Amino acid sequence: MAAAHAARSGVLIAGIAVWSQGDVHGCSEYVSVSSQADTERADLVREGKELAVDDVNEHKDCVNIRGSGLDAPLAKQVASN
């Protein structure tokens, strides 16, 4: 913009706009990461409670999760550890 011989005020306004956009992006990224961390913590608490109540069925559930990309023998090994 400065190379196009724009007025100082235009360059200043453009600079402030770019700077504030970066701040907004940083804030939204923080909210996104914090939200994911909260979800993961809640899942760990829930799974811990379920494991304490019925560890046999929780082990079976862990082995039967197919979305992980593990084949059955490896899923059993991972669930046992």
CA distance 11 to 72: 61
Closest CA to 44 of 36, 32, 33: 36
Please write the tens of the pLDDT for every residue from 4-37.
555 777 777 777 777 777 666 777 788 888 888 8
Please write the tens of the pLDDT for every residue from 39-74.
999 988 988 888 889 888 888 887 777 666 778 788
Closest CA to 58 of 66, 49, 67, 71: 49
Containing structural domain, residue 63: 2-80
Closest CA to 80 of 54, 57, 62, 53: 62
CB 63 within 8 A of CB 75: yes
pTM: 0.49
- The count of domains in the chain is 1
